[in-house]
């Protein structure tokens, strides 16, 4: 009886731990959507704020923190965020031909929990086999005039 009770306790503990792990993954995925969207909006803001008629993308993410192209300093993002899935500042930077950054992607090859496309407010992501397939593309936000 004691062995059977220990077995049941172990089985129940396994189920609880599995649910907790799944919930933690869901939270990291939701945070990736939030952070990726923040980078996307910051990149679009940087592009639109370029003085003059020739617009440009930032050459590094640091330029989003301290934009000195105008009188005074403009901050397009509060801080540089780590990728919530990998836990590191190891984003894949999506670059224009001139070297400017128009988007970011996670480097994680983990499979997303969400299997279909995703749409929230002004952010739309297609279905992908890995988090690295989700592109947080500021070009689409700029092209739509911020109304995507």
Alpha-carbon distance 57 to 34, whole Å? 21
Check: CB of residue 64 under 8 Å from CB of residue 50: no
pLDDT, average across residues 46-62: 93
CA dihedral 51, 52, 54, 56 (to 10 degrees): 0
pLDDT band at 107 (very low <50, low <70, confident <90, very high): very high
pLDDT band at 62 (very low <50, low <70, confident <90, very high): very high
Number of residues assigned to the chain: 148
Which ranges in the chain belong to alpha helices (H)? 2-48, 138-143
Alpha-carbon distance 51 to 3, whole Å? 74
Residue 66 pLDDT more than 60? yes
Q: At 135, list the tokens.
A: 């592109």
pLDDT band at 136 (very low <50, low <70, confident <90, very high): very high
Check: CB of residue 124 under 8 Å from CB of residue 118: yes
């Amino acid at each position: 009886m004691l062995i059977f009770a220990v077995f049941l306790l172990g089985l129940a503990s396994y189920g609880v731990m599995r649910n907790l792990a799944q919930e933690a993954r869901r939270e990291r995925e939701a945070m990736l959507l939030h952070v990726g969207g923040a980078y996307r909006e910051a990149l679009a803001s940087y592009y639109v704020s370029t003085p003059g008629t020739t617009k440009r993308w930032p050459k590094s993410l640091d330029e989003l923190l301290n934009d000195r192209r105008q009188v005074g300093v403009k901050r397009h993002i509060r801080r540089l965020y780590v990728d919530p899935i990998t836990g590191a500042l190891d984003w894949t930077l999506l670059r224009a031909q001139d070297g400017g950054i128009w988007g970011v992607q996670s480097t994680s090859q983990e499979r997303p929990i969400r299997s279909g496309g995703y749409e929230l407010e002004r952010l739309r992501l297609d279905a992908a086999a890995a988090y690295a397939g989700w592109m947080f593309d500021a070009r689409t936000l700029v092209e739509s005039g911020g109304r995507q």
